C-alpha cells in the first residue's frame, strides 16, 4: 500500500494529466456519434492518445510509468467528453482541486457532486479496479508481452471488455429493472424468467462461488443514493430480485448487480456503464502491464488440432 505522501503525489499527477489533446476530442465529432458504441469510441480515442505522446515508443520503466499515469488520468476525460458531445454539449475541462471520482462526475454533468455522490462513485471505481486475470487483463498482458507499447495494451484490453460476455452486465441489470418497472412486478417477472431458464444478469461469479464480497458495499450505496433521489424502488426491486434468485437458485449477486442502480442514481446514461468499468479497470490493466514488462516472457499458448485428419488433396 502507498504511504500517505506517495498517494498524495499520485493524486496530483493524475489531476495534472487529465487534459486531452483537442484533436482527440475533435475526433468525436467526425462520425455519427449518436450511433457509435461508446466502447468503440473509447477504444479508438485511447489509441489516438498514443499519437500525441512523444514517449509512446520509449520502453524504459520510468517512461512506462509516466504513460500509465497519463492514460489513467485521461481516460475519464475521454468518457465524459464522449457523453457530452453525444448530447450536443461541449466537453468540460477537469478541475485540478477535485478528486478523480469527483472530477468524473463534474466533467459529465457540469455540476460539483455532493459528498455522498463522490463517495459512492469512488467506492465503485475502487471495487472494479482489478480482479486478477480476467479476459481484458489477460488480453493486456498478452499484448505487451510482445513488447508492444502501453497504449496498445490498454487499447487491446478495451476491445476485450467491449464484449458483452465480459463488460456490460450492469447495463443489462438496469435494463431488466426498467422493464420490470415496479416492486409489485418483480415476483411474476423473475419467476417467469427462471421457469424459462433465462439468465438473470448480475448473479453468480466464476470465482466467487459463495458470494461476491464487493456486492455488499455497492448495495449499501444503492440504498443511500436511491433514498436521496426519492427513487427507492430501484433498490427495493433489486433486493427482492436478490432474495428470489439467491433463495431459489443459490446464486448470490455479483459486483454488477447493485452497481446498476448506483450509476443510475448518479444520473449516468446506461450505455456509459461499461466505459466507466473501463475507467476503473484501467488502473488494474496498467498495473498488470507494468508488472509484465518487469518480468516479461512471451505468452504463447499451444493449440491442439482436433479437426479431421488424413485429408486427400484434390
40 and 150 both lie in a single domain: yes
Whether 314 has a pLDDT exceeding 80, the answer reads no
In the chain, the number of structural domains is 2
pLDDT cut 90: percent of the chain above it: 93
pLDDT at 211: 84
Decide if pLDDT at 311 tops 80. yes
Centre a 10 Å sphere on the Cβ of residue 299 and count the other Cβ atoms it contains.
13
137 and 40 in a common domain: yes
Answer for the pair 134, 290: CB distance below 8 angstroms, yes or no: no
For the annotated catalytic residues, the residue numbers are 205, 256
Q: How far apart are CA 155 and CA 159, in angstroms?
A: 6
CA distances (Å), origin 305, targets 6, 121, 301: 50, 47, 13
Mean local confidence (pLDDT), 290-310: 95
CA distance 22 to 39: 20
Q: Are residues 149 and 183 in the same domain?
A: no
CATH number at residue 245: 1.10.230.10
Residues whose CB is less than 8 angstroms from the CB of residue 228 and which lie 6 or more positions away in sequence, other chains included: 116, 265
Q: Which three cell numbers stand for residue 198?
A: 433465462
In a domain, 158, yes or no: yes
HSE-up (13 A, CA, CB side) for residue 241: 32
Encode pLDDT of 42-91 as tens digits: 999 999 999 999 999 999 999 999 999 999 999 999 999 999 999 999 99
Give residue 268's pLDDT.
98
Domain that holds residue 157: 4-112+128-162+271-294
Any domain includes 211: yes
Per-residue confidence (pLDDT) for residue 44, from 0 to 100:
98
CB 168 within 8 A of CB 276: no
Amino acid at each position: 500500500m502507498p504511504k500517505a505522501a506517495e498517494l498524495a503525489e499520485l493524486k496530483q499527477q493524475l489531476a495534472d494529466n487529465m487534459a486531452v489533446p483537442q484533436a482527440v476530442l475533435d475526433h468525436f465529432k467526425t462520425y455519427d456519434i449518436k450511433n457509435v458504441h461508446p466502447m468503440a469510441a473509447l477504444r479508438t480515442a485511447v489509441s489516438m492518445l498514443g499519437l500525441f505522446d512523444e514517449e509512446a515508443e520509449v520502453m524504459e520503466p520510468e517512461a512506462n510509468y509516466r504513460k500509465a499515469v497519463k492514460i489513467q488520468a485521461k481516460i475519464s476525460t475521454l468518457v465524459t467528453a464522449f457523453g457530452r458531445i453525444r448530447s450536443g454539449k461541449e466537453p468540460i475541462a477537469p478541475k485540478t482541486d477535485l478528486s478523480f471520482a469527483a472530477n468524473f462526475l463534474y466533467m459529465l454533468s457540469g455540476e460539483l457532486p455532493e459528498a455522498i455522490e463522490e463517495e459512492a462513485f469512488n467506492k465503485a471505481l475502487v471495487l472494479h479496479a482489478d480482479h486478477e486475470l480476467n479476459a481484458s487483463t489477460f488480453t493486456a498482458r498478452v499484448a505487451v508481452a510482445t513488447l508492444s507499447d502501453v497504449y496498445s495494451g490498454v487499447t487491446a484490453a478495451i476491445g476485450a471488455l467491449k464484449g458483452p460476455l465480459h463488460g456490460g452486465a450492469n447495463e443489462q441489470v438496469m435494463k431488466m429493472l426498467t422493464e420490470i418497472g415496479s416492486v409489485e412486478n418483480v415476483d411474476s417477472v423473475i419467476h417467469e424468467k427462471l421457469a424459462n431458464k433465462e439468465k438473470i444478469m448480475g448473479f453468480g461469479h466464476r470465482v466467487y462461488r459463495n458470494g461476491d464480497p464487493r456486492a455488499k458495499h455497492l448495495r449499501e450505496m444503492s440504498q443511500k443514493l436511491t433514498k436521496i433521489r426519492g427513487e427507492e424502488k430501484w433498490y427495493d426491486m433489486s433486493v427482492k430480485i436478490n432474495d428470489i434468485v439467491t433463495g431459489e437458485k443459490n446464486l448470490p449477486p455479483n459486483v454488477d448487480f447493485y452497481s446498476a442502480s448506483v450509476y443510475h442514481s448518479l444520473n449516468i446514461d446506461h450505455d456509459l456503464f461499461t466505459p466507466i468499468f473501463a475507467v476503473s479497470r484501467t488502473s488494474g490493466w496498467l498495473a498488470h502491464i507494468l508488472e509484465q514488462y518487469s518480468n516479461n516472457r512471451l505468452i504463447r499458448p499451444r493449440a491442439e488440432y482436433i479437426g479431421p485428419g488424413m485429408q486427400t488433396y484434390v
